[in-house]
Amino acid sequence: MNLDFSIVWQYWPFLYHGALLTLQMTFICVICGFVLGVLLSLIKISKCTPLVWFGRFYTSIFRGTPLLVQLCIVHFGLPQLLGVTFTATQSGILTFSLNSAAYISEIFRGGIQAIDKGQYEAAMSLGVGYKDMMKDIILPQAVRHILPSLVNEAVALLKETSILSYVGAVELLRAADQITVMTYRFFEPYLVIAVIYYIFVMILSAFASRLERWVNRSDLV
């Protein structure tokens, strides 16, 4: 077995820019997916039947079809349908955000419905409006309970960014592909990006653990 990782490190700029794009995509899509997911979860628990149906249909579509297929529809299909061209990065942000929102909405819905109904009754008896009740009482408690599930979604999203290489985005996997073309070495580049992904996941998990401990110690809820 003849391994030579020095060949890979000669092309470290490819890995650096690929890792940077991977982190940027993850951060943007986690934020967008979180915001959309919260709104979608509120739609699902609303008393407006058409909105509830829409929320359930939306979730079933994005949870019931492969993420790669969704990316292809956005990147290749929508330009044909709408006449608007998206870059690989734009397609990735749109697809991952919409997809993540479906999963996060289910996480939030479960967290909200797990809150004791006495909390709702106490808030209403004190004259607290629905909007203020959700913002100040229900959602903070829900976040506290579903934080591990949200972290798992963020970790999954970090790894799923690798499929962006299919539409030409130069993230980590695409960077490794480019190195293999130039060096004719395959094991070393793919092993290196596997280690990089692993390090990112461990850092994210460690940050989430610290955040969870802080939330559990705080008096915010």
Determine, yes or no, domain membership for 108. yes
Residue 124's pLDDT is what?
Answer: 74
Task: Convert the pLDDT of each residue in 187-201 to its tens digit.
Answer: 999 999 999 999 999
Residue 88: closest CA among 160, 170, 172, 33: 170
State the distance between the two ends of the chain, measured CA to CA, in whole angstroms.
57
Burial of residue 56 (CB within 10 Å: 0-12, 13-18, 19+) is: middle
Q: Provide the pLDDT confidence category of residue 220 given band limits of 50, 70 and 90.
A: very low
Indicate the pTM of the whole model: 0.85
Determine, yes or no, domain membership for 123. yes
Phi, psi (rounded to 5 degrees) for 85: -95, 135
Determine, yes or no, domain membership for 182. yes
Q: Compute the average pLDDT of residues 164-181.
A: 91
Determine, yes or no, domain membership for 3. no
Q: What is the CATH number of the domain that holds 134?
A: 1.10.3720.10
Determine, yes or no, domain membership for 1. no
Range of the domain at 19: 8-217
Secondary structure (DSSP) of 75-140: IIIHHHHHS----HHHHHHHHHHHHHHHHHHHHHHHHHHTS-HHHHHHHHHTT--HHHHIIIIIHH
Q: How many domains would you assign to the chain?
A: 1
Q: Which DSSP state fits 11?
A: T
User: Is the pLDDT reported for residue 218 higher than 70?
Assistant: no
- Residue 79 CA to residue 82 CA, distance in Å, equals 5
Q: Compute the average pLDDT of residues 6-11.
A: 86
- Residue 165 CA to residue 79 CA, distance in Å, equals 19
Arithmetic mean of pLDDT over the chain:
87
Task: Convert the pLDDT of each residue in 46-68 to its tens digit.
Answer: 888 999 999 999 999 999 999 99
Q: Compute the average pLDDT of residues 156-165.
A: 92
Determine, yes or no, domain membership for 197. yes
